[in-house]
Chain A
Amino acid sequence: MTDATTAHRAGGGLMPFVRRYTMELILLALIVFLIFTAPGFASLANTLNVLRTVAMLGIIAFGMTAVIIAGEIDLSVGAGAALAGCIVAWFGVNYTESWGGTAALGFGFLCALVVGFFTGFMTGKFRQWFNVPSFITTLALFTALRGAANLITGGFPLSNLPPSFGFFGGGYLFGIPFPVYLFVLTFIGMHFLMNHTSFGREVYAVGGNMEAARLSGIDVWKVKSLTLALTGVLTAVSGTLIASQIGSGTGTTATGMELDVIAAVIIGGTSLFGGKGRIWGTFVGVIFLGCISNGMTLLNVSEYWQYVVRGAIILGAVLLNQMLDRSR
């Protein structure tokens, strides 16, 4: 009865380790490869640059991981990030004079958070009340939110912002880009939430078997809605950082970001069928994507080839995870 499992555990020596840490090892190999081949990859400036880019993506990806584990999806995060940036910028542009920069931008940020929470939560509720899949609702939001962002800006970047605002996206604290701190904080917070709270356990249960979770007395819709709302909030944070970094609120920023976010989650081993995935995996996934993009740019790979390579990587990662699952 225990034969199969003990044999698997005891035997093989190195193999179980390789199986368990496949993605980590591949990332390590990639980094080593880039250090030796890509000029300037290992430089401090470049490393910090990669981390900054990764941070914007990663903050959202951690929320998305919870959403996908709960068996849902959010396609609206790119548009949501743009909208959040525009909301903050709009308050910054219009109220800095009367309220002062901190109050105007702070209030704008608060509004962006509320909007993010609300759109996410309502996506869950639409599923519950009208049986509209989150794929559809967020596809609608994908266009609607970007439209809303452009309505706020009137089609032009809102760039007359207080200079101090640039710190959040572009500044450094103790020599490290400020977004990286938020990235690490989000990672720790989400890791704790998913692994050490009853809410996290419920997310896994709801995504793994909704009916079994419901019959265990778990409020499955609340759980799903809250993961979507959480992602909305994290999207607002990331959108604000992006606006700060580029110094303006623009309706066209973060185009296609949702695909990178979902790709990072999937590369990290989270199953689109729900119930399975790790925040740590997503951490590896975003770093991996960041290194690939940066490495290819440094190696002068044409932009068009970069798209092709990234596509191949996403497919390859899923295939790899499927195979690993089967061998486990």
Chain B
Amino acid sequence: MLDATLPTDRGRLEFDAVSKAYGPTLALARFSHDFAPGKVHALMGKNGSGKSTLVKILAGVVQPTEGSLRVNGADTSFASPHDAFGAGVVTVHQELSLIPSLTIGENIFLGRLPKTRRLGVTVIDWARMHREAAALLSEMGLDLDTHQEVSTLSVGQQQVIEIAKAMSFRPSILLLDEPTSALATREVDLLFTLVRRLRERGVTILYITHRMNELFQIADTCTVLRDGNFAGSIDMAQATPERIVEMMFGETAKAKRPARQVIDRSGAPLLDVKGLTRNGVFEDITFQVHPGEILGIAGLLGAGRTEVMRAVFGADPVDSGSVTVNGRSFQRPDLKQMKEAGLGYTPENRKEAGLVQILSTHDNLCLASLGRISQAGVVSRSGEQGFVDRQIKDLAIKVPDPLLPVSSLSGGNQQKVVIGKWMNTAPKVMFFDEPSRGVDVQAKRQIFDIIWQKASEGLGAVFVSTELEEVLEVADRILVMRQGRIVATVDPTEITLNDLYAICMKDQT
């Protein structure tokens, strides 16, 4: 009898009041749930809901501060990723961890290549490795040559190999963290076939995603987290998109936003983008920005928001369409010309693309406007000083010494330096790509205040954020993008957060 009960618990995953605190912040608050074995469980929640903390706990990367975890019916605690593996919980992370220059077989058995002894020397048993890898792939219904280099595979195939690698550990529970975020539709189908096959074999799958439509295709249940709390769990047979969005956001009303001036759209637009297309990335993008207007672009990750901004700014190439800035028209936007025409861009990855970390705040603030500051190519500290001081004062940048490396500043202040760098070029239109990412709440307010202030002085702005609340709060008008196209234009005063989210996630048919 005892033996008979054990197999039914294989693949069962139970959380009992699991909490994780980072200092005073509770990332996960007394999460309790019982994930039934042999099913595909979707895990949903907006950014900061505690999803990633849950994943990290299961992967053994972080340890819960409270509560207990039962895996396969036994009390467990993971002190390290190694423990999680040992217990049969394997995670496929969002970022691929394959080595492109190695073969499929080598990637699957990386770090544990089968060995054999030949002539008294331990060598790798290549034949056995490829045999076992091939067996694993065919077991999963995949028709791929294990001798093939991973770099020759599509992203979807790589994702599948990643899962095959995970399955080679024979897990009872498999975590898939946004496995489709980089996949095309056809490749998503390939992945779903694989997931269903694994489910048939009794593997419990935790499936983390942002895409609503996928839930209905693949998941058996959907569990929702909100602000670190368990917000509910629902059988997909009874679920509707509206119900899930409600669980994710709770009872939300219209976002609060300060009284704004009326935008005069009768005159010529500052920025006029017509039919801009980059094959395979975005298509037929058309929009205008008028003086003083803040145009928001909403959409899920990968919808093409950043790509459009970068292309308009001239940072990436385009295939067709035109961009008109302040009356000057460009067929092929070139970054230098666009800067001269009056565009500015604060990139989403401030550290890697916004600032030169080893240079001083002073130098960074002058970086985009050297042509404006210099006289016949000659610059001097004193000549630059006015430009530096103005931005530090104007944007209230907290900087102990502008001549120290900018890397010593806080995230919020670094973001202000990026904005200040562009304000020194006296731009007509600014693109703000995720300006609030990685900054604290107070700095976020200040950055929004700066954007509003500049807009009231006549600047045109394009604002992008993954946080839809922010787009609703900051923008005067919102374009919604899905899969590289503009699918709707909405007025933030007339739409609720839930409705906006629903448009962003809507099925593409």
A interface residue numbers (CB < 8 A to B): 1-2, 5-6, 196-199, 201-202, 204-205, 208-209, 211-219, 275-276
Contact = CB atoms under 8 A, between A and B. Distances in A.
Contacts of A212: 352-356, 367
A16 to B, nearest CB: 14
Contact of A201 (B335, B363, B404): B363
21 contacts: A1-B400, A5-B400, A6-B400, A196-B379, A196-B380, A197-B377, A198-B371, A201-B379, A202-B370, A208-B357, A208-B358, A208-B359, A212-B352, A212-B353, A213-B356, A215-B354, A216-B339, A216-B421, A217-B335, A217-B340, A218-B370
B420 to A, nearest CB: 12
Number of chain B interface residues as a range: 35 or more
Interface string B405-427: 00010000000000001000100
B401 A275 contact: no
Nearest to B310: A215
Interface of B: 315, 335-336, 338-340, 345, 347, 352-359, 363, 366-368, 370-371, 373-374, 377-380, 398, 400-401, 404, 408, 421, 425
A197 B370 CA distance: 9
Most B CB atoms within 10 A — which of A6, A196, A209?
Answer: A209
Contacts of A219: 336
A193 to B, nearest CB: 9
A205 B367 contact: yes
A216 B425 CA distance: 10
Contact of A198 (B352, B353, B379, B408): B379
B460 to A, nearest CB: 18
A211 B352 contact: yes
A216 B371 CA distance: 11
A204 B371 contact: no
Given A197-B378, A211-B352, A214-B315, A275 B335 contact: no
A218 B363 CA distance: 14
A198 B366 CA distance: 10
Nearest to A219: B336
A215 B356 contact: no
Nearest to A271: B358
B255 to A, nearest CB: 30
B367 A213 contact: yes
Contacts of B363: 201, 204-205
Given A198-B370, A205-B356, A276-B358, A215 B347 contact: yes
A214 B356 contact: no
Contacts of B347: 215
Contacts of A211: 352-353
B379 to A, nearest CB: 5
A208 B356 contact: yes
Most buried by B among A201, A204, A219: A201
Contacts of B401: 2, 5
Contact of A1 (B353, B373, B398): B398
A204 to B, nearest CB: 6
Contacts of B335: 214-215, 217
B301 to A, nearest CB: 20
A214 B354 CA distance: 10
A209 B405 CA distance: 13
B359 A215 contact: no
A19 to B, nearest CB: 15
Nearest to B375: A198
A2 B400 contact: yes
B25 to A, nearest CB: 22
Given A5-B401, A215-B347, A217-B336, 14 more contacts: A1-B400, A5-B400, A6-B400, A196-B378, A198-B379, A199-B377, A202-B370, A205-B356, A205-B367, A208-B357, A209-B353, A212-B356, A216-B421, A217-B368
Contacts of A208: 356-359
Nearest to A208: B356
Contacts of A214: 315, 335
